Structure 1
Amino acid sequence: MKKLKVGILLFDYVDILDFAGPAEILSLTVKSKAEQALTLYKKHLLPTRPFEVYTITEKGMKIVTHSGIKVEPDFSIDLSPELDILIIPGGPLRAVQAIAKNQKIIDWINTHKNIEYLCSVCTGAYILGETGLLDGKKVTTHHLALKMLREKYPDIQVLSDRKVVQDGNIISSGGVSSGINMALYLVEQILGESTANRTAKTIEFIL
């Protein structure tokens, strides 16, 4: 299979685990036990890994996360490589509302509506909701944001009983650490259950 390019949108006050969890899962996923052992031994990731993960911001500038840690992205949205998977993480309400009002970012997300997988973590579903791509679809989000998402976007079928929800090429996940479940779900869909289980075991995550 070809190496899949994964873009993770970052913005000021994003929650770290929302993007770092999926980034770590997809970056550490490999195709065999032997490669897994090498990955844990070597300083650099293997060139044969199935996912290549990039961070992307609107202008390619450093952002500050919700916890105050600064992150320098790989690309701006204008210079982003062609993606196979796009992940939209969440953050505090004011932060996601600001991004939802940013028409350039919303338009950019919409250009990816037909990629293999378009994903949200936590309140990132609020941002995706603004694109209109979730209308008529089943999605989930952080448990504290379920009501807000239903009221803001009444055409979305918001579910509260699952950590990960797939509807077509759109995959949404619940709050914060649920992004890890979502990334492992992606690995299972693309590479199979045994690979997903091996990756989960590597980071000592219980599915």
Structure 2
Amino acid sequence: MKYALSKHSLRSTLTGLIMTFCLMLTGMNAHAADSKIGIIVFDGVLTSDVTAPIEVFGAASKKAWFSDYEVVVISATKNKTITSEEGLTIVADSTIYDNLKLDVLIVASSYSMDQWVENKDLISYIKNQRKKASWMASNCSGAMLLGEAGVLNGKKATTWAGGEKGLAKAYPAIKVQYNQNVVVDDGVITSNGGPVSYQSSFELLAKLSSDKFAQEISELIQFNRLATAF
């Protein structure tokens, strides 16, 4: 009887220790991702401008060397549910009206940017995040938002292929680059968008980690195979 009680006690102790250890691990994991990569979305956003960085950084965040980062989708309005140009429903994690500290901000685009360029709350949000974020990026015509917020003043930048003249005319302080998929200058990355959003995401991932790690994720999601696909 004494042996049975001792065995039961030992089992209970071991179980308690295991549960405590698991809770400690859970707590560590819950606080591991203390760096945030925010992607701004809105109705009419071009799907690949959003899904490309989500796939790249989402895959990277599962690696130990990038586990400090997590991707959050941020709505440009108080409505968290938006519909992309191609009909994809996206439910954002947050909105620009929430108090969220970002380490990286990525701005997506749409075929019609006027209402977003004229959105004072959105532009103010981008300006404020620029003071805190280590990197900012835009895909396609999202460069118009960075231009309106003054983020690209004095910097080299690009936008959608064919839209360079329009960007230069609207924002003369930008050193607009032509015929370049991706442009990197002083903590800001701009790209043509569309499928090039993957290329710009890998450029940013390399800056946040290393070329070696970016290549690792490229191979993981088989993006590297595109170079020989055609």
Per-residue deviation, 1:61: 2.5
Contact 1:122 1:174 in 2 (8 A): yes
Deviation per CA, 1:110-149: give whole Å up to 9, x if none: 0011310011011100111111221211001111211211
Amino acid at match of 2:121: K
Rg comparison, structure with higher value: 2
Higher helix share: 2
Deviation per CA, 1:139-185: give whole Å up to 9, x if none: 01111211211111122111123222121111111131121111111
* Aligned-partner SS, 1:128: helix
Partner of 1:203: 221
Deviation per CA, 1:44-80: give whole Å up to 9, x if none: xxxx724200011121421111112221111111215
Partner of 2:210: 192
Q: Give the one of 156, 160, 172 matched to 2:190.
A: 172
Is 1:103 the counterpart of 2:134? The answer is no
Q: Give the one of 64, 84, 89 matched to 2:103.
A: 84
Partner of 1:155: 173
Contact 1:60 1:75 in 2 (8 A): no
Contact 2:59 2:217 in 1 (8 A): yes
Separation in 2 of the partners of 1:63 and 1:81? Answer: 19
Contact 1:60 1:74 in 2 (8 A): no
Q: Give the one of 114, 124, 129 matched to 1:112.
A: 129
Partner of 1:23: 54
Separation in 2 of the partners of 1:63 and 1:19? Answer: 12
Looking at both structures, which has the greater relative contact order when contacts are Cα pairs under 8 Å and sequence separation is at least 6?
A: 1
* Aligned-partner SS, 1:197: helix
Contact 2:80 2:93 in 1 (8 A): no
Amino acid at match of 2:211: E
Is 1:138 the counterpart of 2:150? The answer is no
5+ residue gaps, structure 1: 37-47
Contact 1:31 1:195 in 2 (8 A): no
Q: Give the one of 126, 132, 141 matched to 2:144.
A: 126
Task: Indicate how the Cα distance of structure 1 residues 30 and 102 shifts in structure 2: closer, same or farther if over 3 A, else same.
Answer: closer
Matches within 5 A, 1:1-40: 3-30=34-61
Separation in 1 of the partners of 2:82 and 2:61? Answer: 29
Per-residue deviation, 1:3: 4.3
Per-residue deviation, 1:81: 2.0
Number of residue pairs matched by the alignment: 192
Q: Given the two structures, how large is their TM-score scaled by the length of structure 2?
A: 0.78
Task: Indicate how the Cα distance of structure 1 residues 80 and 7 shifts in structure 2: closer, same or farther if over 3 A, else same.
Answer: farther
Separation in 2 of the partners of 1:135 and 1:82? Answer: 23
Aligned-residue sequence identity (percent) comes to 29
What is the CA RMSD across the aligned residues, in angstroms? 2.0
Separation in 1 of the partners of 2:144 and 2:211? Answer: 30
Per-residue deviation, 1:30: 4.9
Contact 1:30 1:195 in 2 (8 A): no
